Amino acid sequence: MSSTAGAASETPRQNWVVGVWSDMLFIVAAPLFALVWTLGTMLALGPERGTTVVLATFGVFNVAHHFPTFIRIYGDKDLIKRFRWSLLLGPIFPFGFAMLVCAMIIRSGASVYEMLFLFMILTLWDPWHFIMQHYGFMRIYDRHNAAPRKLASRMDLLLCATWFAFMMTATAEWLPTILYELHAKHGVDLLLWFNAGTKQFLERLALVIAIVSTIAYVWYLVWCRMNGYYISGVKLALMLITFGVMYFTYVPNAAMESLVVGWTFPVGFATLGMVHVTQYLAIVWKYNRSLASRHDGSGAREGFFRFRTLFRHGGLLLSSAYVITCLLYGAIISGSFVSDEALPLWATETFTSSTAFRWGIGILISLLFTSNFLHYYFDGFIWKVRHRENRQNLAMSEEGSPTAEQPVASWWDSAKKSQLGLTIVKQTVYFVPPILFLMVTYWFVQDHPEQKAPMTHLMEQLPARARGTLSDEDWFSSVDNAYRQLAIESHMADLSSDPKHKAYKADLTYNLSTADLMLKSMSGSLNESDLELHLRQLQQAKSDWTAALESEGSIAHRERLALSAMDEAEQKEEVRKFIDQIDGEIASIESGFVPNIVPSS
């Protein structure tokens, strides 16, 4: 190929989604602005309050950006005509299953917030959604590149995917927390296969692959330059800024630790999440304005949208109204996460524990789940840049006519119009298995207290064992479950900086040793080696409680939920009482006396 094979008659100018300044503010440099805002909030309010504000703001922003998806879909007659049954039936499965879970939980008498186990699907889906949006913006800014489309798109995707995989692997919290939640709520035991050595290996492997892909990408850019193909500086800036900020906010590093005390992965995730929201608002605004301004007789955006001229003419006032409307939607739907402390004075305990209130919260959580679920599902097929309609309305082709180098696929060409029966089958296969799996495994764990709360179950069985009314099989099964949970918490204490795992490990260590000592003391088989072993276990429990005390964050774990109602200062005061109790027992044993055995739970 000659060096000028792909060169245009003159160097093309960089295209923009909305405009130069709008793109820089809401898309390209948005990660930097979000990082500055988060750092300022954390420094001004302190770790605890700052974290609360950042996460609450992200919660509203995140749900707010679902609303433009629904405007984008249900306001476009062409899209409705092409995907009618997929779009109309889409909300039924997620909302119906969520309300079924709500009814089951309310009937069981459990907290309606137990419904949040459904969000595991969204936790796993979200990273893919994030990276594909970033990749989409790279493709938009690469509009003028005349290099072969498949090569250009695959190189951009390779660079995005490999660096994103490294970032997510290198985080201290994301993957271990997912594996832990799968164990705790669904009985899926994968965590014991994932230790610190495995994590380090995967992290290094992901880094090597990312570096190799970067070398290949640099070669691709050199090749583009040699052949006269356009290279978008904005695309490269977007990549560098996004993944640079992602590294500092996601991956534990000395720079962030020196700047802010109490920085955690959830805070970093919220920081980049707000960027994802502003970028999405910008692209939907651009698409809807272009669609509303078309005069091709397609019928798109007729009626309300043209009559109100909201998207057709835009302007600061109307664009502000658009953003405010989205934020109101986010504030209302995310209201299911309001804490007891934030409720108004008239919301008494009687009111909040009433069936009507619990149903209200359950409906909000169901709507929140459905909103997230549909946003991911719909985005998966409405934003593909290979479709002519998207390229037209995102100004990726001149005058809406694809060039010879551009794809000509259309929604109308890619497949037949959706049919009711086929759509029901597809959505059943697509939606039902993951939701049903979470529901079945969750209720199985709920019905087995030895899995749901192994420490509590063990201590509840202790009196019966002491009286001799509990069989060896039942008792040792409970002991095994408690030791298994101890192994899980030891794993998590090594993998995660969350202090609740050290606290849970301390509780398990103390109570297992205490139960064993109590039974041996009552049977008359207690000897000096048993006391020495108990002393070592007490010292280990004290060490873990002290480490939890010195860490930032809540110490409440799933079997000490009473602590969750306290702030961090009150939690730490309770922990000091536990440590004083352990010190008393250690002193008693060292003085040659058998301590008063009092379980901590």
Q: What is the pLDDT of residues 445-496, one digit of tens each?
A: 888 888 889 999 999 999 999 888 999 999 999 999 999 999 999 989 888 8
**Cα distance from N-terminal residue to C-terminal residue, the chain:** 75
CA 417 to chain centre: 34
What pLDDT score does 22 carry?
A: 85
What pLDDT score does 82 carry?
A: 78
Minimum mean pLDDT range among 222-226, 370-374, 412-416, 517-521: 412-416
Confidence of residue 318 (pLDDT cuts 50, 70, 90): low
Q: Contact at 8 Å (CB) between 557 and 498? A: no
Q: Contact at 8 Å (CB) between 393 and 287? A: yes
What pLDDT score does 410 carry?
A: 58
Q: What is the pLDDT of residues 48-98, one digit of tens each?
A: 888 889 998 998 889 988 988 888 788 777 778 778 888 888 899 899 999
**Which whole number is the average pLDDT over 435-452?**
89
Confidence of residue 298 (pLDDT cuts 50, 70, 90): very low
Whether the predicted pLDDT of 403 surpasses 80: no
Whether the predicted pLDDT of 111 surpasses 50: yes
Domain residue limits, the chain:
20-398+405-445, 449-590
Backbone CA torsion sign across 461, 466, 471, 473: positive
DSSP label of 3: T
Q: Is 253 helix (H, G, I), strand (E, B) or coil?
A: coil
Whether the predicted pLDDT of 132 surpasses 70: yes
What pLDDT score does 497 carry?
A: 81
Report in angstroms the alpha-carbon separations of 291 from 70, 84, 137, 310: 15, 19, 19, 12
Rounded CA gap, 11 and 442, in Å? Answer: 59
**Which whole number is the average pLDDT over 307-315?**
50
Task: Please give the structure tokens belonging to residue 57.
Answer: 């703001």
CB-facing half-sphere around the CA of 213: CA atoms within 13 A: 19
Written as one letter, the residue type at 466 is A
Rounded CA gap, 468 and 36, in Å? Answer: 63
Whether the predicted pLDDT of 508 surpasses 90: yes
Confidence of residue 540 (pLDDT cuts 50, 70, 90): very high
What pLDDT score does 560 carry?
A: 84
Confidence of residue 47 (pLDDT cuts 50, 70, 90): confident
What pLDDT score does 367 carry?
A: 92
Q: Contact at 8 Å (CB) between 535 and 589? A: yes
Rounded CA gap, 34 and 273, in Å? Answer: 9
What pLDDT score does 175 carry?
A: 87
Rounded CA gap, 397 and 388, in Å? Answer: 9
What radius of gyration do the chain's Cα atoms show?
28
* Per-chain mean pLDDT for the chain: 82
Confidence of residue 236 (pLDDT cuts 50, 70, 90): very high
Q: Where are the alpha helices (DSSP H) in 294-419?
A: 304-308, 310-313, 316-333, 349-352, 355-382, 388-393, 411-414
pLDDT higher at 431 or 384: 431
Q: What is the pLDDT of residues 271-280, one digit of tens each?
A: 999 898 888 8
Closest CA to 411 of 310, 312, 298: 298
